[in-house]
Amino acid sequence: RASLNAVLSLNTASERPVKTLAISTRALREALMPQSWLVAVDSVKAALRRIDGTGGAFWKSGLPLTVDIQGGYEEFLGEVIGVITRFGAVGADIEDSTLVRGEDNGWTTRELIDAETQASVIRAAIKGAAESNLELPDFVVNARCDVFRPDLADPWCGASDAAVLAEAVRRGRMYLEFGATTVTYAGGPGRGLRREEIEVLVRDLGGMVGVRLGDGEDALTTRELAEIGVARIDVGDSIYQIAMNAAKEATARILGGGRLKA
């Protein structure tokens, strides 16, 4: 909730740079259960309520809200769509990879979901929102395509760059055909998207492309991404991570005999 209020404070009576709000899976996890990589379907409502607060920050902001619903929650998709739309969401992020439990019952492997299966989830989410009590015919789905992630299980972890890019285009076209508004791509830890890859995606998907903003020294800026023609820029939980790292560094300075500010 603190980060939500911090972002909303950028909007003043004379200037409103913040146009939309988005809640990541990380935000849902941190609201209730930071020890888990996944948020159970019955925890989504409680997490949203805690982030929203008693004052109803989502509604008061008057801004469109989207919520990350991971891979779509399978048979609970309709229930989750109902939960987030009642909190004011007009869209959802749905990803096409999932964590798989290892022999020690921990989350050890990330695998891509079958493209046709994921496309059906996208269509079902849009249909569910349109048929809900709130009747949202323009419900937005941002389909996250994780084929560029370096931590995927075989066969993609060892595939050539050309093969990965071709699969990214194939999946993107399918997701758009099944109703997604945009398709967002991220390179994952240590692997940002390259300019030439983004240019191909923008060209082949008619510009309906989102890109995760990189944090490396040579990462493309928001201005550069806009000039290439992307429709959406995703920051994931990066702002949260920056804030936590700043708190850690300040504490280390204080404990080490330094000043409050560097």
**What sections of the chain are H helices per DSSP?**
2-8, 25-32, 41-52, 57-61, 77-86, 115-130, 161-177, 195-204, 222-228, 238-255
Fold of the domain spanning 2-191: TIM Barrel (3.20.20)
- What the block records as the tokens of 67 is 């919520």
User: 68 phi and psi, to 5 degrees?
Assistant: -75, 120
Give the Å distances, CA to CA, from 37 to 23, 26, 174. 15, 8, 28
Cβ contacts of 135 within 8 Å, gap of 6 or more: none
* Rounded Cα gap, residues 250 and 229, in angstroms: 38
Beta partners for residue 112, in sequence order: 97
Q: Encode the chain (262 residues) as per-residue pLDDT tens digits.
A: 677 888 889 999 899 999 998 888 777 777 765 545 455 666 777 777 777 665 677 778 888 989 998 888 878 888 888 888 888 889 999 999 987 766 665 556 788 999 999 999 999 999 988 887 777 778 999 999 999 987 777 676 677 889 999 999 999 999 999 999 999 998 765 567 899 999 999 999 999 999 999 888 888 999 999 999 999 999 888 888 888 899 999 999 999 999 988 8
> What is the CB neighbour count within 10 angstroms for residue 137?
8
Annotated domain spans of the chain: 2-191
Instruction: Determine contact, residues 110/97, Cβ cutoff 8 Å.
Output: yes
Residue type, 244: M
| Whole-number pLDDT of residue 77 | 86
